[in-house]
Chain A
């Protein structure tokens, strides 16, 4: 008999983060910074981002923080991100699960070319120190702060930019490819972002205070070039070394906007060389292909296919998955989405199949 397990996992146990939807990028002929303060995308929206969020939602409400009630002086912006989800997971048995994914407050102050940004929110932890944590806090400088692109210098705690930044952290290229959830590190980044091309170079060290999934120190590079009005290609590289392992990651990305159908195709493939202190090593492959279709105002459908081979030498340790996600941007503050995955080990060789179907909400204050 299949057991039904009700798992209520503490805050952020499988948490998401309110990162950018890159699906919007090519359709709007813009870079992430057209809508986000963060040159990597995600977190607080700028004025244009608020306007865009308002135009995307089914219901037209004021996009500012707390529907305009928390609008302060021009040098201050505050916000919050709440996420949660519940549904069914199926590994060997079918179970129900609930995931209180994220509850982060965020604030920034800016002036004279500088932006100071920070987040604070609860995280599950066995120690008081990890119960309330700041995932990101950084100081950024721009030569022209009135511009929404150009040169950016950042120091602080953030996620080193590496490859495509999907909103769903379960994308195989994020989960296994060096941009894991809670993979933030302390670093210094030189970033140049324009609609036609962007480049991010980051040197980083792991957080010595808060434990994260990133234990290594190293560097990350990502550059993306728009080769036509509808297509872009990118190159990524990353190195990190720690007492646990040393990883070299390299990969390519591609995006293609199918304008008549309003479908964005995105693809990413990575090769990872991982060596261990005891002397062994392995090569891994991970890839993801996703198509996003703007079905109607406020509605977006994603269909993705991914693959992860944890050791290319060893038979039947590869994972294949298919994702179907339906997003409803009810308003500029509320998003509801259904995320579904079916994945199998060693496709065609009779490996086990698992998956999930979750209803999630995302509330942006």
Chain B
């Protein structure tokens, strides 16, 4: 069953998903980061929750040492840096698909619409 589904599951279309804060939170951050004990509203690992757009924006506003999101500057945005980092990778035990990381980068590159520091 796994093999069958895997063989039929590979998408072929280029990534046309919307690089918006709503989509990124709902489709990438919430399912990958707001998992049990990590960045849920209850757990708030490192003080950040990514369950909802509101929680995520609050996390961006509360970031202290380094801006989680610096609009237009993905390399200065902790959110993007940890996704590609070897030193302190996030998630710590698995890697996001390249397309998801690029979606985050594109949103920041575009000036992070929907977020005002």
Residue positions of A touching B, CB distance < 8 A: 2-3, 5, 7, 9-10, 12-15, 89-93, 95, 97, 123-127, 130, 133, 169, 175-176, 180-182, 210-213, 215, 243-245, 254, 267-269, 274, 276-278, 280, 282, 285, 287-289, 305-307, 309-320, 343, 345-347, 351-356
B13: Cβ under 8 A from any A Cβ: yes
Judging by beta carbons under 8 Å apart, are B95 and A267 in contact? no
Judging by beta carbons under 8 Å apart, are B99 and A182 in contact? no
Judging by beta carbons under 8 Å apart, are B38 and A13 in contact? yes
Judging by beta carbons under 8 Å apart, are B86 and A282 in contact? no
Residues of A contacting B37 with CB < 8 Å? 9-10, 12-15, 123-124, 181-182
Residues of A contacting B65 with CB < 8 Å? none
Judged by DSSP, the binding face of A is loop
Partner of B26, one of A89, A245, A305, A354: A245
Judging by beta carbons under 8 Å apart, are B85 and A276 in contact? no
Within the assembled complex, what's the spacing in Å between the Cα atoms of A267 and B5? Answer: 12
Closest A residue by C-beta to B18: A280
Residue positions of B touching A, CB distance < 8 A: 1-3, 5-6, 8-15, 17-18, 20, 22-23, 26-27, 30-31, 34-38, 40-45, 47, 51-52, 84-89, 91-100
Closest A residue by C-beta to B97: A317
Contact (A124, B86) CB under 8 Å given A14-B36, A267-B2: no
Residues of B contacting A355 with CB < 8 Å? 93
* Count, A-B residue pairs, CB within 8 A: 201
Judged by DSSP, the binding face of B is loop
Residues of A contacting B12 with CB < 8 Å? 315
24 example contacts (A-B, Cβ-Cβ < 8 A) are as follows A9-B45, A12-B37, A91-B93, A91-B94, A92-B85, A123-B42, A126-B42, A269-B1, A276-B26, A280-B17, A280-B23, A287-B2, A307-B9, A309-B9, A311-B17, A314-B13, A314-B17, A315-B14, A316-B98, A343-B94, A351-B95, A354-B93, A354-B95, A355-B93
Max chain B C-beta neighbours (<10 A), residue from A215, A317, A355: A317
Within the assembled complex, what's the spacing in Å between the Cα atoms of A356 and B93? Answer: 7
Closest A residue by C-beta to B8: A285
